[in-house]
Amino acid sequence: MEQMLIYTRNASGKFKLFSEIRKLRNFARRNRWKVSGVYTDRGEETEAHPEFDRALENLRAGKAKGILVPRISMCVASLKEAVVLLDSLHRDAFCLVSMEDDFDSEKASSAETIRVLAKLERELFSNRVKSGLASARAEGQQLGRPKLKISENRVLRLAKRKSIRQIARTTGYSQTTVWRVLQKHNRK
């Protein structure tokens, strides 16, 4: 029975961490692997991964054959880092197994490796965008299209003698905008 190390990162709470470890242990059991260590880091993708580094040290010390992770994006912060990691593990005859990416570096073809790296790049890009948006919101920046300045009084005056379509044409607002103004003031 081959020995594997489990690595995961806790970015969203204790319950999810335990659930994730349980899934990884079950995955290892189904593949007839013995788990010889569990390593968890706290924090986001861009932060340091001291426990992952410790897992790599123990791997190279001969305590296991490979590392089992939920997703490759959990243990690397860039595509370059992923390529260097996979190359290093391959050179030392170790493997990286990603449960959700359905990837085993020991058995993967070039096409599979490229598929996983492309998925990783998309995921990392998405995470960077989400992080940037969260940062902008935290700084109080207005995101998205600016609110349309609507002269509600003008719409209400026109509503006394014109239809929604005519008001929209006259004001340059959409019919939906005119309708919302009228609904807000319980008209029509």
Q: What is the CATH number of the domain that holds 122?
A: 3.40.50.1390
Same domain as 173, residue 94: no
Domain assignment present for 147: no
At residue 121, the pLDDT reads 93
Instruction: Provide DSSP, the chain.
Output: -EEEEEEEEESS-HHHHHHHHHHHHHHHHHTTEEEEEEEEEES-TTS--HHHHHHHHHHHTTS-SEEEES-GGGT-SSHHHHHHHHHHHHHTT-EEEETTTTEETTT--HHHHHHHHHHHHHHHHHHHHHHHHHHHHHTTPPPSSPPPP--HHHHHHHHTTS-HHHHHHHH---HHHHHHHHHHTT--
Domain assignment present for 15: yes
Domain assignment present for 146: no
Same domain as 18, residue 110: yes
At residue 188, the pLDDT reads 55
Tokens 């609110």 label which residue? Answer: 147
Under the phi-then-psi rule, with left for phi > 0, alpha for psi from -120 to 50, and beta for the rest, what region is 169?
Answer: alpha
Convert the pLDDT of each residue in 98-150 to its tens digit: 999 999 998 888 889 899 999 999 998 998 899 899 999 999 998 888 888 88
Same domain as 99, residue 160: no
Q: pLDDT at residue 73 above 90?
A: no
At residue 46, the pLDDT reads 56
Convert the pLDDT of each residue in 4-14 to its tens digit: 999 998 766 55
Same domain as 100, residue 25: yes
At residue 67, the pLDDT reads 94
Convert the pLDDT of each residue in 30-71 to its tens digit: 999 999 999 998 876 556 789 999 999 999 999 999 999 999
Residue-number span of the structural domain to which 65 is assigned: 2-138
Residue 76's pLDDT band (boundaries 50, 70, 90)? confident
At residue 44, the pLDDT reads 64
Count up the domains in the chain and report the number.
2
Same domain as 157, residue 131: no
Residue 187's pLDDT band (boundaries 50, 70, 90)? low
d(CA 178, CA 156): 9
Domain assignment present for 145: no
Domain assignment present for 133: yes
Domain assignment present for 156: yes
At residue 179, the pLDDT reads 92
Same domain as 42, residue 111: yes
